[in-house]
Amino acid sequence: MSKKILVVGGVAGGAGTAARARRLDEDAEIIMFERGPHVSFSNCALPYHLSGVVRDCDDLVLMCPSKFAEQYNIDARVNNEVKRINRYEKTVEVKNLETEETYTEDYDKLVLSPGANPIKPQSIKGVNNDNVFTIRNVVDIDKLNKYVENNNVENVAVIGAGYIGVEIAENFIHSDKNVALVEAMDQVLQPFDFDMAQIIQKELHDNGVNVVLSDPLTEVHDNHVVLKSGKKIEAEAVILAIGVSPETKLAEDAGLKIGETGGIEVNHNYVTSDPDIYAVGDVIEVYSKIARSKTRLPLAGPAQRQARSAANHIYNIPTKNNGVIGTSVIRAFDYNAAATGLNEKQLKNAGISYDFVYIIPTDKVGLMPDANPLHFKLLYEVPTGKILGAQAVGKGNVDKRIDVMATSILMDATVEDLTESELAYAPLFSTPRNAVNQSTLVATNLINNRYNQVPVTKVRGLVEKDAFIVDVREKDEYEAGHLINSVNIPLSELRERTDEIPKDRPVYLHCRSGQRSYNACLALQGRDFDNVINISGSYLGICFYEYFLDQTTDRKKIVTEYNFE
């Protein structure tokens, strides 16, 4: 007897489940309900319609109902909203939003993939004004774009500096709008650590985005917004990108169990508390492989994998649930940023003992004309060396380095496991020993107490306390910009000038990227200096860390000149 499978919601989770079920069972009756006009679209590409990268909003639509019928024999019903689940009769009540007709469909298996709603706090005065928008689907982005064009909007306020917020801000800049990016927290892009986020904040700032941090939105007016500090920002259009909440009402009304994080609780196979109802995508609660706790992860990649697993289980095909690690990537103007695993804040909250490496190699051989610095941060467990997370920011292919680290986390690899990893190399693509190899070698040295380090986040405090800091770059590099109280002893002169370095107090060393200062540390340790400490990230990292803060706050500079090359 063939199965009847109903799917609530389309896009990655719902459409993926329906398509996989069809591949497994040619005879099944599969019906997919979507309350909007589009059942399959590229939600990750929505912001790029604002700048014309995606010229026509219809291009965002990937599959229409007729194609689902022709190619997959799936009945995709748009503008049809599932209003109620009758679990004990195994039926759903559906409303056709075009005809207002209400009807009933029975099912053998039901899959919920309604997604998540953009958060729209009613505590914000004016949040329901006509010039306030949220972005979830093609209709939303089309409505925003037309409003901006029809009303000659010149000033835009984007509220929330997560991935969507940053992408919307960038695309509005490319459309020659004045853009303010307002974030209640103290940094953009929360998956990244504070030190790494400064690089992206600088890039946004340098490209004309007015980045406002630690100042929540309180009021929206016709031509401006008001922040908690009382600051007013001109804005004829306001986009809320402050997060999403899982759309669980249908599940709650049906008596399905909701998890501790607010998403639908599912088991290993994405089965809800009802054995005939599955749930996938942004609406569910998932398990963090590293933190060993429940979380939510509204990303398209995990949703597609969940969809396949759910469909497999309907047909008794074994599935493997590894939990999630949270791998993502974004572009902000000329910089790319990718992350996987947990960051420092998350590791602290999870109570996991960790340390990290921050290195800045080039993304390809330095002789190549388009070689650029690659900021790479590796977080690992102490004392095991197990890889817990990684972040990469630069102008090159940061994603491929992070993909290696994501795969390593999945395999429970340690830093020692990756020191000898054989990765693709040619001068145009990488360096012979690329960021993955270098970072794990550094981590291995730290685990084995070969030397000590201090992060760039501590350098301002060291300068203010007049710590003894040695800059081992060459004289011309030092003269182009340096820490205001540092002493220049180039690595090439170090062995002849050790009498200038004290042994009775801590000595901090840095160069441009950390490599020469590491060699200087070991050279001095070989001459009985037991008080030397390398500055992780070195001068380049210090410049990126300090620059945005210096431009947006009133504080004393600790460098004579910034140098980002």
- What residues act catalytically? 44
The DSSP annotation for 33-54 comes to EESSS-SEE-GGGGGGGTTTSS
Q: Which two tokens stand for residue 178?
A: 């004045």
d(C-alpha 463, C-alpha 559), whole Å: 10
Find residue 190's DSSP bridge partners: none
Q: Which residues contact 251 (CB under 8 A, 6 or more apart)?
A: 85, 112, 258, 264, 272, 279, 283
The count of residues in the chain is 565
Q: Say if residues 41 and 138 touch (Cβ distance below 8 Å).
A: yes
d(C-alpha 70, C-alpha 463), whole Å: 68
* Phi (first) and psi of residue 92, to 5 degrees: -125, 150
d(C-alpha 89, C-alpha 247), whole Å: 23
**Other C-beta atoms lying within 10 Å of the C-beta of residue 207:** 16
| Residue found under tokens 């998350």 | 346
d(C-alpha 510, C-alpha 517), whole Å: 5
Percent helix, percent strand, percent coil in the chain, to nearest 5: 30, 25, 40
**Other C-beta atoms lying within 10 Å of the C-beta of residue 247:** 20
H/E element, 154: none
d(C-alpha 359, C-alpha 369), whole Å: 21
Q: Which two tokens stand for residue 174?
A: 């490319």
Q: Which two tokens stand for residue 195?
A: 């030190």
d(C-alpha 291, C-alpha 14), whole Å: 28
For residue 19, which of 66, 103, 96, 76 has the smallest C-alpha distance? Answer: 76
In the chain, the amino acid numbered 563 is N
Q: Say if residues 202 and 213 touch (Cβ distance below 8 Å).
A: no
Cα dihedral across residues 351, 352, 353, 355: positive or negative = negative
Q: Classify burial at 561, counting beta carbons within 10 Å of its beta carbon; exposed 0-12, middle 13-18, buried 19 or more.
A: exposed
Inter-helix orientation angle 300-314/11-24, to 10°: 30
d(C-alpha 198, C-alpha 543), whole Å: 10
Q: Say if residues 267 and 139 touch (Cβ distance below 8 Å).
A: no
For residue 364, which of 355, 374, 353 has the smallest C-alpha distance? Answer: 374
Q: Say if residues 549 and 510 touch (Cβ distance below 8 Å).
A: no
For residue 277, which of 285, 289, 287, 269 has the smallest C-alpha distance? Answer: 269
